[in-house]
Structure 1
Amino acid sequence: MPCGHPSRADVREETTMPDHRKLGRELDLFDTDPLMGAGLPYWLPDGAAVRHALEEYIRGAERRAGYRHVYSPVLGKRELYEISGHWSHYSDDMFPPMDLGGEQVVLRPSLCPHHALIYRSRSHSHRELPLRMAELGGMYRSELSGVLGGLTRVRAIQLNDAHIFCTLGQAADEARAALELIRRAYEALGVRPVRYRLSLPGPGGKYVADPGMWQRSCALLTDVLDRSGVAYEAVEGEAAFYGPKIDVQIADSAGRETTLSTVQIDFHQPEQFDLDYIGPDGARHRPVMVHRSIIGSVERAVAHLIEVHCGAFPAWLAPTQLVVLPVSDGQLDQAARLVRRCVDQGLRAELAAPDQGTLAARVRAARLVPYQAVIGAKEAAHDHVAVRLRDGRRLDALPADEVLARIGALVSAHTTELWDGDAAG
């Protein structure tokens, strides 16, 4: 997979790696330790910064789309997953139950049963629907050690998950809106899907035995894809145990295809948990449950972003967004003040002082940072900075306040562009 950034050949040659596992460790984004265990990576400060920026972006996008966020426990009684169907259809991929005070509790393999209980905890009117519930929450899969690798296949997963409780007439529109959220997120991230897949049940799988339910949900998702105008393929054997789904597929640096984002229409769990709402007629009605994940697991999303961008992330996502480089010690105090101003404005900025090497060496060390602000004697005298963009462009000296305002606006817009106008060569 080619790298999206930076465009300069010298940077591309030095940063392109076979896959995210090598590059992610070399860039100090994440690592593993045998004492923590296989499939349980930890995040280093720069990786944590990328993860935090990604999580904040998706939370903001969801809030603007009308979602409300919740938190739910990562444990649940075994009985919960017996009701949802996970225990009978999915227990091979779950961790064993733990005995606790005469009860058995389980690390959850998904968030949907918890969200069903949250919905059920209050009565609901048709006027409240669609009710969009979102969570960036942990879940756990007992993956075999042979399939684990880097961030793409892990045992502890932070999932961008959401469940929309709605009427049957609202379900297709909610699923289409989720596909649009996915499209916009991929644009901000600089990610391109390799295909859309309608994942259907196949022979021999452990699926809920309700042909009518499968027919209804398949028809709805097919209509959603057709109306959305995206090309897709129907593939048997890839459905969830309780229903079909739309999978947005990506490919890694070796060409291996995986699912990043999903949209599902579920009639099964509302029935299992006896969910209802009061309709206009005053009677109880069963809601439809739309599952959707915009960026999938944070781990898999970051793994893909490392490979797509070769570590040169979009400015809004970069661990360090701006590095300040004083030419000599005479500009050191002013450079330190500029870093503090950046941090106060919400930018991730660092100081590369003269004692870290020559200016050329410091510029090269910061080659993956989107913005480099050079301060020489002339710039210091006028509170200006000379900006170098990661792609090699150099801007004329500009007032520091203007530079910070323009960078801040680009970061807030979640764009993949480095600058919002003409720049010097």
Structure 2
Amino acid sequence: MSDVRVIIKRDSEREERVVATGTTAAALFEGERSVVAARVGGELKDLAYAVVDADEVEPVAIDSPDGLDILRHSTAHVMAQAVQELFPEARLGIGPPVRNGFYYDFDVDQPFHPDDLGRIEKRMQQIQKQGQRFSRRVVTDSEAREELADEPYKLELIGLKGAAAESAEGADAEVGSGELTIYDNLDPSSGEVCWKDLCRGPHLPTTRMIPAFRLMRTAAAYWRGSERNPQLQRIYGTAWPSRDELKAHLAFLAEAEKRDHRKLGSELDLFSIPEELGSGLAVFHPKGGVIRRVMEDYSRRRHEEADYEFVNTPHITKAHLFETSGHLPHYADSMFPPIQFEGQDYYLKAMNCPLHNLIFRARGRSYRELPLRLFEFGTVYRYEKSGVVHGLTRTRGFTQDDAHIYCTKEQMPDELDTLLTFVLNLLRDYGLSEFYLELSTRGDSDKFIGEPQEWAEATEALRRAAGKQGLELVMDPGGAAYYGPKISVQAKDAIGRTWQMSTIQVDFQQPKRFALEYTAADGSRQTPVMLHRALFGSIERFFAVLLEHYAGVFPPWLAPVQAVGIPIGDPHVSYLGEFAAEAKGRGLRMEVDASADRMQKKIRNAQKQKIPFMVIAGDDDVAQGAVSFRYRDGSQKNGIPRDQALDEIADAVARRVQV
């Protein structure tokens, strides 16, 4: 047998090794228990892959991003095998890895019951302990169709092989654009096929290498994500490299569930999404309205200080406006269907920028007016699919804190620098402090308009502005809007989740499409640069993020009720009423609980409502002209003179600190 030379790559190190023909990747990394696959020439391979001369081979550890995907996709196969053993009528959809887990879709006679998950998980544990071997084999189109004749959805994927599969939801994990392969789950003792699935792979060597998993929930899902297709049953699960990591993830999920803004919104009486209005359309209750107003008022004040000018635009417009901007050809699927009126199509506004262009164009503009910063709390409407609508974080009607800045090319670098600094500082004022930036650039798709040199100039301007912030910059190739590149501010919340917040985009295209001009210093007519900026993204989504970030325990300046008076007895109600009147006179939000409940129940109620200050008064307090404080953490301070107590509440509000 002849020898082959391979290169073993580990980070920046390269090791040349001579091995016998037929040596597998598993043999190259023998003894390295964390290695579950190999990357050969940039392509992921099973450890059973036999290396050939000149291969460059990298180990893939189970705790790496690719390793986690392989672990989770392998676990999805084990789950599908267990389901078909327990429910023989189940037909297979797709089962890709997703963030922190996996899912598999099934066509079954009846929806899965929660009790079914326990049965499926128990069978999965048995399969895992058997150590069944994942074995890859290449098949022809006709062979695949013959073997999977009872799997109609797999047959459809075979027909989608290639680019169509890569664009279908989850299908790329099944067939991709290369050769067709089937993975067999083989019995370790007899070598017989226990189960098989159409799959691109790679997979773990055996099921025994799945360290820890848990099935989470079921849901309905349309085949290939289209409402025109049959509705399947989806089972979600999670898998991790160790039991400790699984335990930590489940604890994280439990904490996230406690912070779910939908749950807190109901408990704290902040907002609701009535069925009568429709999915994705929220109403804010009085307490939620207070928080929203405070958020908006503070933002409005900061914008005024930064020389923004406030505008207002209607909720509906003729179709021609969005044709001019280019939105209609590119975003028609995300817009509600047109309304026929007076022989014309009208659309609910899905974005504010075209209307701001009309304001700029309403009269002649001089270079002396630039940069012109237009700002609006503009409500827009987008046709989100029912499967992605989620509380306040993904809605069909929402209000953007939308700004569009018109400036000269010479002003653009400084304006971007100032703009990004303004955005980050304002987010910090609301209590977010950990950020990174994402730069979305032009891709190869024909959706992108404009000349390459314009894109290069816009992208470089954003890159330079991002570099001045001293934050990590992550690239997002192909993720730009059709008209220009963008920077997204990604913020981490109190439990480490990342949320996309503000976006800043450089647009050379819309000013040209709308024929926007200003008179330059030399008297010539020039086209401005347009900068798009949404700071909150949407007020609804930002509200939800803050609600989860604080777990409903808002700092006093954002709390809907900043203080509640709790009388020890009925004779003390009027005394606290006077105190509350003084508090309101200083702009504070205070109520008095004059209900018939006992004092301890009133305290519990205030704690459940997460009110920052409980102001208690009894005979001694009245005699001394004082009050007592009970804080949210249960600590207490007694005998505080009334003026000092008011000062303490007002100071906490003014400084935007947590108590």
Aligned residues: 404
**Matched residue, 2:627:** 385
State the alpha-carbon separation in 1 of the partners of residues 557 and 446 from structure 2: 42
**How far apart in 2 are the matches of 1:354 and 1:383?**
23
Summarize deviations over 1:195-225 as a string: whole Å, max 9, x none: 3100113343622242122111101000101
Alpha-carbon RMSD across the aligned residues, in angstroms, is: 2.2
Contact 2:311 2:374 in 1 (8 A): yes
Question: Is 1:70 aligned to residue 311 of structure 2?
Answer: yes
Alpha-carbon distance in 2 for matches of 1:213, 1:402: 60
Native 8 Å contact 1:198 1:245 kept in 2 = yes
Residue in 1 that maps onto 2:513 = 272
Cα drift, residue 88 of structure 1: 1.2
Aligned to 2:275: 34
Distance 1:36 1:354 in 2: 34
State the Cα distance separating 1:402 from its structure 2 match.
3.0
Corresponding residue of 1:213 = 454
Where structure 2 has 5 or more consecutive residues not aligned to the other structure, the ranges are: 1-253
Letter in 1 for 2:267: E
Deviates more, 1:132-141 or 1:360-369: 360-369
Alpha-carbon distance change, 145 to 226 in structure 1, aligned in 2, over 3 angstroms: same
- Which has the larger displacement, 188-197 or 298-307? 188-197
Residue 375 of structure 1 deviates from its aligned partner by 1.4
* 1:173 Cα deviation after fit: 1.8
Whichever residue aligns with residue 461 of structure 2, its letter is L
Query: For the structure 1 residues 354 and 42, does the alpha-carbon distance in structure 2 shift closer, same or farther, using more than 3 Å as the test?
Result: closer
Distance apart, 1:176 and its partner CA? 1.9
Q: Which residue number corresponds to residue 605 of structure 2?
A: 365
1:225 and 2:469 correspond:
no
CA distance, structure 2, for counterparts of residue 174 and residue 147 of structure 1: 35
Q: Could you report, residue by residue, the CA deviation over 1:177-210 in whole angstroms, capped at 9, with x for unpaired residues?
A: 2222222222222224453100113343622242
* Cα offsets for 1:24-73 (capped at 9, x unmatched): 22221111222210111211221111111111111111111111111111
- Distance of 1:15 and 1:232 partners within structure 2: 27
TM-score (ref. length: structure 1): 0.89
Larger Rg belongs to: 2
- Alignment of 1:93 onto 2:364: no
1:310 aligned partner: 551
- The aligned runs of 1:26-425 (5 Å cut-off) are 26-204=267-445, 206-250=447-491, 257-353=498-594, 355-358=596-599, 360-367=600-607, 368-413=610-655, 415-418=656-659
Amino acid corresponding to residue 381 of structure 1 in structure 2: A
Whether the aligned pair in 2 keeps the contact of 1:188 and 1:416 (CA below 8 Å) is: no
Q: CA–CA distance in 1 between the matches of 2:340 and 2:646?
A: 55
Matches of 1:254 and 1:336, distance apart in 2: 39
8 Å CA contact 1:140, 1:157 repeated in 2 = yes
Contact 1:19 1:254 in 2 (8 A): no
Partner of 2:21: none
Amino acid at match of 1:402: Q
Q: 1:162–1:293: 8 Å Cα contact kept in structure 2?
A: yes
Q: Answer whether contact 2:432 2:493 (CA < 8 A) is retained.
A: no
After superposition, what is the alpha-carbon deviation per residue over 1:349-376, rounded to whole angstroms, capped at 9, x for unaligned? Answer: 1112362222x32222212111111112
Report the Cα offset of residue 172 of structure 1: 2.0
Cα deviation, residue 16, structure 1: 6.6
- For 1:104 and 1:193, locate their aligned partners in 2 and report how far apart those are by CA, in whole Å: 45
Code of the aligned partner of 1:22: K
Aligned partners of 1:125 and 1:171: how far apart in 2?
Answer: 16
CA shift at 1:255, angstroms?
7.3
TM-superposed CA distance for 1:263, in Å, is 1.1
Contact preservation (8 Å) 1:327, 1:354 = no
Q: TM-score, normalised by structure 2?
A: 0.59
Which structure is richer in relative contact order (CA contacts within 8 A, separation 6 or more)?
Answer: 1
Change in 2 beyond 3 A, CA 1:121/1:226: same
State the alpha-carbon separation in 1 of the partners of residues 653 and 593 from structure 2.
Answer: 21
Q: 1:43 to 1:376 in 2, by over 3 A?
A: same
> Matched residues in 1 for 2:430 and 2:495: separation?
20
Give the partner amino acid of 2:653: V
Distance 2:598 2:437 in 1: 49
Classify the secondary structure of the residue corresponding to 1:175.
Answer: helix
Moved more, 92-101 or 185-194: 185-194
- % of aligned pairs identical? 38
1:337: Cα distance to partner? 1.9
